[in-house]
Amino acid sequence: MANIQKKIHCWDLNIKVTEIKSDLAKEINRKIKNKFKTLKNGAEFYSNQINKSEAHLKNILSWICKGKTKQYKYPYKNQQAGIPILDIITIANDLGINKHKIERNLISIRKSNSHIKIYFPRFPIKITPIASCLLLHYYCDGSHENWCQSIKKHPLNRQRYFQRIENLLGEVRNWNSKKHQEIYTPLIIYKILEKLFGVEKNSFTNIKLPEKFLNLKKEILIGALVAIISDEGHICKEHYEIRIAQKNKETIEFFHAICEKLSYDISQIKKEKSGIYSFKIRSLGLLRFHVDLINLNKKYDNILDLGDKQKFFENKIKIIKNKIEKENLKQPRGHGEKLFKTDFEILKHFKTPITKRELSKITIQSINTLHHRKGRLKNFGLIKVIGWRNKESILEITNKGKEVLEENYNKY
């Protein structure tokens, strides 16, 4: 099995260069003229050394003259010829140009057997949370036989997918199937991820990443979990948990191992009646994941969220926090219902007589919201009406309310 790579350079891949930046093209042009008198002589010399075909000679000559290779017209698409990156580095070395300079000045590249190009590639490409997120997207719902295919039905999920690719690789022209919501992107994306993470060839149907994957940095594993929850996770409506399910047992064990490595509170894997394997990330695990996700997105401009599930996830986190706060607060006796933390925060404002409208200005909450909170506090016997001002009741805290505030002094 291949090892995990720290970074990938352009010369580590089987790619063709279709265009370079004009400044570098002019430098190559000048050096070839100095060495061979004419550009054609230089092109013939390198063509004989590398590839003696007439087509290759024309490509090299076009690249030397203009910094980009020839464009061929077909009935249904335009195909731009490219020169293998190793051939370009061979020419550059002979002219005394460092290969890292070539890498920094690439405008567009493509895989040898693909006409889809990547513009302004971000070499060297390193292992990041974006890379692990894309890798797991392809594991969850993608394929790699001839294209990188991923199914993203929601527009926000498609947008995030494109943003992640551009953040990792550069500008990519995607073909979008509106009928099936399938996104096709260049196969080179998977090849880069395959090389970075040491994925075995043709292992997408059977997940087999190196064991060292689980020893990568925490943020890399969080990036992977973002893709897992986005594609395979279900945020339960009735319970405070996320359910992750898969038909493949080895796959679900891999997902489970990622959560264990992150020390999240999770259940054991179980086989359901339908034959699907699943496990759940419990409420405390979700709270930790939420904090980790916020910290991670500060570094990556919020492109590592859960897409269309993010809003539902945020609402679920609020419910979990309120539930925990209510359990931790000492509640007034004699009531089955519990007060929220925000109720206690408002209660402290009744230490001096105040109306609902005056309270609204202090707390910046609507009259309607305060009406419900006032009613709840009054039912608990924590506040009372002591008079009227401008046709509004004046409210003040009771002795029972003062006792409740004292008990929860450090909790709000």
Q: Which of 410, 402, 388, 389 is nearest to 350 (CA)?
A: 402
For residue 178, what pLDDT is reported? 52
The CA-atom distances, in angstroms, between 225 and each of 100, 173, 256, 312, 313 are 34, 26, 10, 17, 14
Other Cβ atoms within 10 Å of 62 Cβ, number:
17
- pLDDT tens for the chain, 412 residues: list them: 567 888 899 898 888 877 888 888 888 888 888 888 888 888 788 877 776 565 566 667 776 666 565 554 443 344 556 788 888 888 888 889 999 998 999 888 887 766 678 889 999 999 999 999 998 887 776 555 555 566 666 778 888 888 898 899 888 765 555 555 666 666 778 788 888 888 875 544 555 677 788 899 999 999 999 999 998 899 887 788 999 998 888 889 989 999 999 999 999 999 998 899 999 999 889 999 999 999 999 998 888 999 889 998 998 888 888 777 655 555 555 454 566 667 777 888 888 888 888 888 887 777 777 777 787 788 778 888 888 888 888 888 888 888 877 776 555 4
Distance CA 341, CA 343 (A): 5
Contacts of 339 (CB under 8 A, 6+ apart): 326, 329, 331, 332, 376, 377, 380
Is the pTM higher than 0.75? The answer reads no
Q: What is the pLDDT of residue 2?
A: 65
What does the alpha-carbon distance between residue 108 and residue 140 come to, in Å, rounded to a whole number?
29
| The two three-digit tokens of residue 235, written as one number | 């945020």
Widest CA span of the chain, in angstroms?
Answer: 102
Q: What whole-number distance in Å separates Cα of residue 27 and Cα of residue 32?
A: 9
d(CA 129, CA 132): 5
The answer to whether 305 and 295 are in contact (CB under 8 A) is no
Can you give the residue ranges of every domain in the chain?
Answer: 22-104, 129-307, 341-411
Does the fold of domain 341-411 match that of domain 129-307? Answer: no
**Of the options 1.10.10.10, 3.30.1360.200, 3.40.50.300, 1.10.510.10, the CATH number for the domain spanning 341-411:** 1.10.10.10
Does the domain spanning 129-307 belong to CATH 3.40.50.720? no
d(CA 250, CA 255): 9
How far apart, in Å, are the Cα atoms of 45 and each of 56, 84, 91, 287, 389?
Answer: 12, 17, 10, 64, 98
